[in-house]
């Protein structure tokens, strides 16, 4: 088989890239290790930046996100038992975020890809990458007991943190940066109405909690747990009691509990691999970087990466130049590191660490008190949360 761009991974990065390339007339094939249902079954992100919404529109798949997504103008910070609203819309000259689950983004992208008759090879494993340091890279995969090979011009490594793409790069060609946090997020998805119409980020002496949602009838809640905790240790009742203990009286009163549709623990880490390009292999999304979900940046960074990558490939194939491809990694990493900083800062501010102690808790509360009463500090939070703009090549 031959294609122009072989994409590894059918998560949001791979699927969005495939759709953007299709719209630009660039042939592509996606090779995915899991089944489509397995990919859809992963419950992850929930907040889309305007940059991501604009890319979904460019890909022709923003209709449902616009119709069913919830535009949000602010978030609330809960500390010392009181909630304080950050007016993101007012502080950023009218910007907002859209609450729309990653599962739905993936579903919309899968449907558009199928409608366009584009090839996605699911249940392909193992997948291997070859000759991407030359002009004729190849992807090889096993499926139904047979070995298949794809000849291509470029390989897009969109296969996430545990994927094969970054692992295929010679170790001495890669520099990685990592910070592992001593806690995780125990998350619950349930068909119960949200406690508030906006997200509530809570800093409490018991630990962090987040009240989010997927719609007006489906809520997404998280509580910070130790990194070695196990989801089996948490009955539904234990989760709801712990969440309740981390809320303010009004939210506690409004909390509606129910049987979770999903319950899982996500580890938290910050990770960046540099550079994001190796000859004809280009990394995008979680394959190249991971952020703690506190700042709701993971999915949005993946979208921005493939926005840059599809533009660079379009410039290349129009015979204009390879300069945009040469700039791809630097352009992505400038935005990635700003999101890494914001996500690390917000995580450090909102969570209890083993060494936080009483003094550390008072310092966090003082920073939060300054944050919610300082126009400059609130503006900084707001402009990072709604998402920084993309740069031109
Ligand atoms: P993904 O990991 O989503 O997709 C990679 C795809 O590649 C997968 O389908 C995988 O099966 C496939 N793959 C892997 N290895 C392969 C191989 N060898 N061959 C072929 N295919 C292969 N972000 C937020 O903004 N907010 C959140 O609340 C949030 N929660 C998260 C919870 C968890 C448990 C995790 C892991 C991440 C969370 N994230 C969150 C981040 C998440 O949303 C990612 O940023 C987003 O999925 C990135 O998309 P991709 O880069 O496409 O990677
Ligand atoms: C979610 O709804 O899953 C979500 C929202 C905001 C975050 C992280 C996760 O910062």
Helix (H, G, I), strand (E, B) or coil at 204: strand
The mean of the pLDDT values for the chain is 97
Establish whether 162 is a catalytic residue: no
Query: How far apart are the CA of 311 and the centre of ligand 1, in A?
Result: 22
Q: Which two tokens stand for residue 181?
A: 């946090």
CA distance 58 to 237: 44
The string of pLDDT tens digits covering residues 95-139 is 999 999 999 999 999 999 999 999 999 999 999 999 999 999 999
Residues flanking ligand 2, CB < 6 Å:
45-47, 199, 210, 212, 220, 293-296
Q: How far is CA 209 from the centre of its chain?
A: 19
Q: What is the DSSP track for 34-53?
A: S-HHHHHH-----EE-HHHH
Domain range annotation of the chain: 5-71+99-177+269-350
What pTM value is reported for the model?
0.96
Query: How far apart are the CA of 201 and the centre of ligand 2, in A?
Result: 10
CATH 3.50.50.60 assigned to 5-71+99-177+269-350: yes
* Closest Cα to atom 28 of ligand 1: 45
Reply yes or no on whether the pLDDT at 336 is more than 80.
yes
Q: Which atom of ligand 1 is nearest to the CA of 264?
A: 34
Q: How confident is the model at residue 43 (pLDDT cuts 50, 70, 90)?
A: confident
Instruction: Please report which ligand is nearest the Cα atom of 208.
Output: 2
Residues flanking ligand 1, CB < 6 Å:
8-14, 31-34, 39, 44-46, 102, 127, 158-160, 162-164, 266, 285-286, 293, 296-299, 302
Contact between 263 and 219 (Cβ < 8 Å):
no
The string of pLDDT tens digits covering residues 365-381 is 999 999 999 999 999 99
């Amino acid at each position: 088989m031959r294609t122009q761009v072989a994409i590894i991974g059918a998560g949001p990065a791979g699927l969005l890239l495939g759709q953007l390339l299709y719209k630009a007339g660039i042939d592509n094939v996606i090779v995915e290790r899991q089944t489509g249902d397995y990919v859809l079954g992963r419950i992850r992100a929930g907040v889309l930046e305007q940059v991501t919404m604009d890319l979904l529109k460019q890909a022709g798949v923003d209709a449902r996100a616009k119709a069913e997504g919830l535009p949000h103008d602010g978030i609330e910070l809960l500390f010392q038992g009181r909630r304080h609203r950050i007016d993101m819309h007012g502080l950023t000259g009218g910007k907002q975020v859209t609450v729309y689950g990653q599962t739905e983004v993936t579903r919309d992208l899968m449907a558009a890809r199928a409608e366009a008759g584009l090839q996605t090879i699911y249940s392909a494993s193992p997948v291997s990458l070859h000759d991407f340091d030359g002009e004729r890279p190849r992807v090889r995969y096993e499926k139904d007991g047979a070995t298949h090979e794809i000849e291509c011009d470029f390989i897009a490594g969109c296969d996430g943190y545990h994927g094969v793409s970054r692992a295929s790069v010679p170790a001495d060609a890669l520099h990685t940066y990592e910070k592992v946090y001593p806690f995780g997020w125990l998350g619950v998805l349930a068909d119960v109405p949200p406690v508030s119409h906006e997200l509530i980020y809570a800093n409490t002496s018991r630990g962090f909690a987040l009240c989010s949602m997927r719609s007006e009838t489906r809520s997404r809640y998280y509580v910070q747990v130790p990194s070695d905790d196990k989801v089996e240790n948490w009955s539904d009742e234990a989760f709801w009691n712990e969440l309740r203990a981390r809320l303010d009286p009004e939210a506690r009163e409004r909390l509606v509990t129910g049987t979770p549709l999903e319950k899982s623990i996500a580890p938290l880490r910050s990770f960046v691999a540099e550079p994001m390009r190796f000859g004809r292999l280009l990394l995008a999304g979680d394959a190249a970087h991971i952020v703690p979900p506190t700042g709701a940046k993971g999915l949005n960074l993946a979208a921005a990466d493939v926005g840059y990558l599809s533009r660079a490939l379009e410039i290349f194939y129009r015979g204009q130049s390879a300069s945009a491809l040469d700039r791809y990694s630097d352009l992505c990493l400038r935005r990635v590191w700003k999101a890494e900083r914001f996500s690390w800062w917000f995580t450090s501010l909102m969570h209890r660490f083993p060494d936080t102690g009483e003094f550390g808790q008072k310092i966090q509360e003082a920073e939060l008190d300054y944050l919610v009463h300082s126009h400059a500090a609130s503006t900084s939070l707001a402009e990072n949360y709604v998402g920084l703009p993309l740069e031109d090549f």
